[in-house]
Structure 1
Amino acid sequence: MAVYCISYDLKSDNYESLIQAIKAYGFWWHQSESTWFIESALEPSQILDNLNNHLFKGDKLIVIKVQRNWWAIGHTEEEYQWMKNRNF
């Protein structure tokens, strides 16, 4: 399974269905207001196709595959462990 970063800029106020679609991937971390990390066996294009069904006109979303070499600052130990425990 791969880890993906999902980031968005939503023009709409109704984004609950998008959040539920992201959470449906099972292993997820809501890193910041508009950034999530998920674990999935799907390709990024497949994830994007699925999440696109929950976007509205003017919304932006990107799916990026995360590799093993990552760095972060300012997070809790639990948040660091989420990333460290992923099998890249």
Structure 2
Amino acid sequence: MSTKLIAYDLNAPGQNYDALIDAIKGLGAWWHHLDSTWLVKTGVSASDIRDRLAKHIDSGDELLVVDVTGDARAWRGFDDRGSKWLKETWD
């Protein structure tokens, strides 16, 4: 299992995020505290996540998936719940 950062911009107005969000949530334990940024603890590779989520975005949209597993991390301004998830689930 590793932690993946998933970020996206759906650029066309009026797009439905529901299918994309459901697909992200289905990948594993997730944290979503910033608008279009997710952290997911999953056994799925970054390229496989990209391919799965590509079904839920348009050709003009942007999607970034990065493996962020490891000790390098820092944050500020999150509530106790968000900080707890980051501390307990990151590694």
TM-score by length of 1: 0.91
Partner of 2:55: 53
- In the TM superposition, what are the counterparts of 1:1-88 in structure 2 within 5 Å? 1-12=1-12, 13-66=15-68, 67-86=70-89, 88=91
- Segments of structure 2 that go 5 or more residues without pairing to the other structure are none
Q: Which 4+ runs in 1 deviate beyond 6 A? A: none
Please say if residues 31 and 37 of structure 1, whose CA atoms lie closer than 8 Å, have aligned partners that are also in contact: no
Letter in 1 for 2:79: T
TM-score by length of 2: 0.89
What is the count of residue pairs matched by the alignment?
Answer: 88
Question: Deviation at 1:16?
Answer: 1.1
Q: Calculate percent identity across the aligned residue pairs.
A: 36
Q: What is the CA deviation profile of residues 59-84 of structure 1, one whole-angstrom value per residue up to 9, with x for unaligned ones?
A: 10000111321000000111111111
Q: What is the CA deviation profile of residues 2-52 of structure 1, one whole-angstrom value per residue up to 9, with x for unaligned ones?
A: 011111111241221000000112311112111111110111111111111
